[in-house]
Structure formats: C-alpha cells, structure tokens
Structure 1
C-alpha cells in the first residue's frame, strides 16, 4: 500500500467442514469491509466462509452485522492479549488474510512493531494441539519498489525503480517492513504457504483509514463546498498530467481470496491494481462532478497546505457531522491519509504497476477507476460517513 496507517487490521480464516472460517481485524480499514462483503457472497471462492471479525477497537455502528459471524477485539502487538483472544480458535484457523499495519516515526520502528504483530498472531495460531493454518495472504504495496518514502530521514536518499513496477524487481537497499514481513512468512514454510499482494492507492469505504484516500478527499470537497473555498489540487504539475494507478478495495479483496484458494499462487507475490491508469486531472474532474463543486484547473502558482486548511476547519466538519446526522468522526481521523497522499501527489515519476504476472497466474479482476469514484462516494454516504 502506498499510504501509512495507525490502525491495525488482520484477516484470519478457519476451515471446519463444510466451512472455511475467516477472522478480520480491524473493521475500520476499507479493505476489511470488502473482504467480508466478498466472503459472504454465495459465489465466494472457497466458500462458504464463517467470518470472525476483529479489531483493536469496538465494531463501528455503520458496519453491517451480517458480514460477521463472531467479533473479537484484541491488540496484535500485545502477545498476552493475542494469546488470550486467539488461543480458543487456534485449532480452527486455516487461512489468515493479513492487512494489519502500525506506522511509526521511522522505518526501523515499523519493521520492529509490524514484525512483532504478525509473529504474535502466527505463533498463537500455530501453537494449538492440532493447528490447521495452511495459507496466509499478506497485504503490502508499492513501497516495495520505492522504499520507505514516508520516513523523512530516508526519503531524500531514495531512488525508486523505474515504472511500470514488476514483482521480480530486486529489493532496494533500505529498511522496509514489507520486506521484513515477507521474510517472516517465508521462515514458516513449509508449515504453511503464503501470498503477497502489493496494492497501489486504495479506493474504498470506511470511517477511518490512512489507506482511504477517497475518504479524506471527500471530506476536503465537502468542507470546500460548505465554506465556498476552491477545491484545489494539492499536488504538482507532473502528477496532474501524467499517469497513475489505483486499487479498488473490491479488486484487492478478490485477489486475496483467489490467492488463498489457488494452488498456483502459493508463495508468490502479486501486484494488485485496477488494471487501468488515469491522470490526476481526470480524477479531479470526476471528484468535482460527484461532489458538485467547481473544477479548478491546476496552475501551480500558489503553494498551499491542504492539511492546515482541513485542521482550521475542524469545527466546520463537526457541524457538518451534526447537521447531517453522520457517524461521529473527528477531522484528525479523516485527514490522516493526506500526509501520505501529498507525497504521492508530488511524485516526479509515473506511479504505475504491471498486472501481467497476476493475469499469467489466472487472476483477471479489474475495475474502472474513474467510474468507481461515484460508487464509492455513494457507499460512504449510505454508511452516513459523509453527507
């Protein structure tokens, strides 16, 4: 994933005939919502699935209760808490869909905490009297090819690979918790197999997620509309005019589930994007149309800090939430993605990943990025997260 997050999210799956059983941790991440939605479909690969939804926090009110069979709250970074909450199901879990992440001030700390979280969970699930864990899918992203771009101590040194990014590109000579998690999974084989899923900018629906770029842009658009402010693009001319790609949360969920039940996908890494490209100019036009705000051409003459604009309008967002009876959110939770998004919107290279390997292995999921924007905005409105 391009972005960073302070949330934690994991998906576990269990198989007891006639079910495969799934456990998701944090319901706040947009991809978790779509995992559950996809797994509960009658046509889900490998189904039917019994779902254990989990998060460090309590289940949000907007989350459909029909998506989970059981809900467990625990902190994966705390071994005692992990043992207490996962030991009772350690003899059932057959699949883990790991989309958990905690982001710290630097990449070395990211390596430490994220490795500990994954190791705690895997060790508990492997410690039962008759453990059944057979497959783990790991969510990462294009930092695989760019390095730790959000670590300010390393950012200016980074030399990313040339796009389009391909799965067989060598690792860059910088610390990267994505590398650490892949190595950790490999260390458990052949006890179980795994797959790695490298997303781009994720577009989906949730009330709180650094990976939900669309959510923070939706809040920004609503504040601009409410206050009569110009809906300006917070990036550079290069990204405004050049190609980028994205990952629809539905496509990500589909690829994880496909890989979880595919023999061919064992111990493989796959890029996961929508399969198309866009310019941010075209993306901005679509956003402006959906939110009914005036489209503002990028001129690059005036620098501005979109995060500061949002912070200054925290009380405006509070009033929007109150007036529209929305799910209670705070501006600081809604704009966390902007720190990551600003980096992406100021790249001087085209952020594009190849989907050739994924197709060669048999996954053909796709989405029309621009067409999906309105659908996801309507979903956020139905969930009463935005007006």
Structure 2
C-alpha cells in the first residue's frame, strides 16, 4: 500500500467523536500514516467529550452542519487548507426521506463551504456508508417490510435498489464534484469500536445490556432468531475502516471507487454469544425460542438501572437512551439473510487489511472500560 501523495496533507474528520472518527484521528497521527505527516481537524456537533484524547487531533471544531451559516463561520477559515475530508457523520431520523434531507444538507453545507473559496485546496472526500446500500432502508417503518435485498455476499457493483436511501444521495453529492475532487466510498458492516457518541453502536448496546444483566444477576439472553443464531454474519473494526479510508484517499488507483470494508472473517451468533458471556462475565443462556422476549421494551425499562451503575462505578455520565440502539440491534438479530460482504474488490485494488473479529471485540471492550463508558469487571 504505497502512498501516491507527497504534498502537505490536512484532514477534516466530520464526526470525529464517533467510533470511526476516533480511529481515523489516531491512525492519521501515527508516524507511519500513509500520505503523512497529517494535520488533523476534528469536527463534531457537540463539545469534545472527556474521554476523547486531545493529542489525536490538532484542532477540535464544534459546529452544526445542518446550519449553513454556522458551518461557514467555522470552516471558512480553513477552506484554503483542508486537502481531505473524511465523512463519518450521521444523523438518524424516523423515516428514510428525513434521513436523506438532514444528511444531504450536512454534507452539502460542508463541501460547499470548503469549495467556494477560489483558494480551495480540497482534493479528496472519503465517504463512509454501510450495508444498507445493499438491503434498503431497513430501519424505516414505511419500507422495512417490503424490502428485497441483494444476494449475499454483498458486492460493490450491485445496482441500486428501488428504495429511498440516504447513502445513495450522499454518493451523488460527492461524485458531482468530480473530476475536480476525487472520492471514495467505504461500505461498512456492523462497526466495532469505542465511543459513546455513535448512533448505531451494537457493541456498546450489548455491553450495556450485559452490564445490567450482571448487576441484576439475570441471564444474558439472546434477543434474536434461530436463523441469525445459526447463520453467518460479519463486522467491521473501526481501525480497519480508518486504514482503508486513508489508503483510498492517497492511492491513485483507489480513487473514485466504492469499497466494502469488513474484517474479512465471518462468525455465527451462537459462537459469538458464548464469547460475549466470557468477555462480560455474565451467565450464558443458549437460544430458547419458547422464551422469546421483548428486548427493546425490556431495555427501555432499565434506564434507572443504568443510572445506578453509572453512579456506583463512577462512569462517564451517559443516558442509556443516548448511547444504545436496542431497536437497531433487534433488527440485525432478526435478519432473514446472511449478513456478509465480499472483500475481493478491496484486495484486487491493493488493500489487504483485516481484523480478527473476536480479538477486535475484546480490544474495544477493554478500551470502553478504560474510557469509563462501561464498568470494569
């Protein structure tokens, strides 16, 4: 993986406090980072959280990308400096049409400000999306029941599905700047990383659920179906996603391409569940279809329990409803398909990164404990 860039590199990570945003900041600041040395601006909607390591970025910017004036006020001063945008931001609404509106507004505002200046230095935009590209708006109550996804493993050359999808809109916004600005799209699976500010954070949801089970002495029951229990799934390590985005941003051959980015291995949820009980030190209970329960409803009842855990363990002051995504995890564990992606194209283009999913989970759980987001054992 040889960098093709020898010029000064200045990154703007939009969504820097999310799982991949944090990994991008840390990866870009490594002495061995492709295309480096990098100057790194990290941007997010809210002030920097206490767990965020300041040493990983040069400047932190808090602004509301939905508001053009606020975006212009904060980004115009660096519009003649930023060479690469890493877009890992997301806002989630109830319907996909609303998702399209808010996320396209954010991306358009940022790119408009950075390109309006006659002295603009922007060269590349790395856009993170996900496997919803191949499945459709799976969380949308209007469309979810009628979706016909692509065959698995998911492959990048698949045609777009005939459903509204904000990923498609974001791709169109980015590619419209070509050839003046190059782009890359990075389609993740279920992301594994460490943050209290990522909306779709399956690992943190599982960690909070396990912490509550351990605190109350209740079984760690599997809130999914037999199909997902016995069929393949994959995940994406946030550090791997960061590495692929940096590689594509500075490697000529990889520009103007879309890539899947998963760890490269697969797992069965029945094996993963056994592993998670060891990681979280909770009582294992195998799948029992006769003992099905309302996971989302049960989690909604546990806010006060989580508050007790936070106070007792001296954790980051978080609200369970803000750091977990029970409905999204419930949807994942009720898929009627094998959630797996092909990594062939990525390898053909020269990216050979991979991660061991089980080791990745253990590492990020340890990191969440160090950050005082979840309790230590």
Verify same fold: TM over 0.5: yes
Pairing 1:349–2:337 present: yes
Does residue 162 of the first structure (1) align with residue 147 of the second (2)? Answer: no
- Give the secondary structure class of the aligned counterpart of 1:28: coil
The answer to whether the 8 A contact 1:26-1:54 is kept is yes
Task: State whether residues 286 and 373 of structure 1, in contact with CA within 8 Å, keep that contact through their aligned partners in structure 2.
Answer: no
Q: What secondary structure, in the 3-state scheme, does the structure 2 residue paired with 1:210 have?
A: coil
Deviation by residue 1:165-188 (Cα, 9 ceiling, x = unmatched):
000011111111111111111111
Q: Deviations over 1:147-195 (max 9, x none)?
A: 1111111111110011000000111111111111111111111110100
CA deviation profile, 1:67-123 (whole Å, cap 9, x unmatched): 111111111111010111100000111100111111212111211221111111111
Q: Distance in 2 between matches of 1:386 and 1:105?
A: 28
Check conservation: 1:271, 1:358, Cα contact below 8 A. Answer: yes
Residue 126 of structure 1 aligns to a residue whose secondary structure is: helix
Cα offset, 1:302, TM superposition: 2.2
If the length of structure 2 is used for normalisation, what is the TM-score? 0.96
Asked if 2 retains the 8 angstrom alpha-carbon contact of 1:29 and 1:211, the reply is: no
Deviates more, 1:215-224 or 1:308-317: 308-317
Task: Report the more deviating stretch, 36-45 or 303-312.
Answer: 303-312
CA contact (8 A) 2:218 2:283 kept: no
Structure 1 position 281, deviation (Å): 0.9
Contact 2:14 2:86 survives alignment (8 Å): no
- Runs (4+) of structure 1 moved beyond 6 Å? none
**CA displacement, residues 299-318 of structure 1 (integer Å, 9 cap, x when unaligned):** 11122122222222212111
Q: Tell me what 2:88 maps to.
A: 99
User: Which residue of the partner structure matches residue 49 of structure 1?
Assistant: 38
1:26 aligns with 2:11: no
Aligned equivalent of 2:301, options 290, 294, 312: 312
Whether contact under 8 Å (1:115, 1:180) holds in the other structure is yes
- Report what 1:338 is aligned to: 326
Whether 2:73 is the aligned partner of 1:70: answer no
Q: Per-residue deviation at 1:18? A: 6.6
TM-score when normalising by structure 1: 0.94
Partner of 1:283: 272
Q: Give ranges in structure 1 of 5+ residues lacking alignment.
A: 1-14
DSSP-derived class of the 1:93 partner: coil
Q: SS of the residue aligned with 2:86? A: strand
Q: Where does the alignment leave 5 or more consecutive residues of structure 2 unmatched?
A: none
Q: Distance in 1 between matches of 2:198 and 2:223?
A: 19
| Cα-Cα RMSD | 1.3
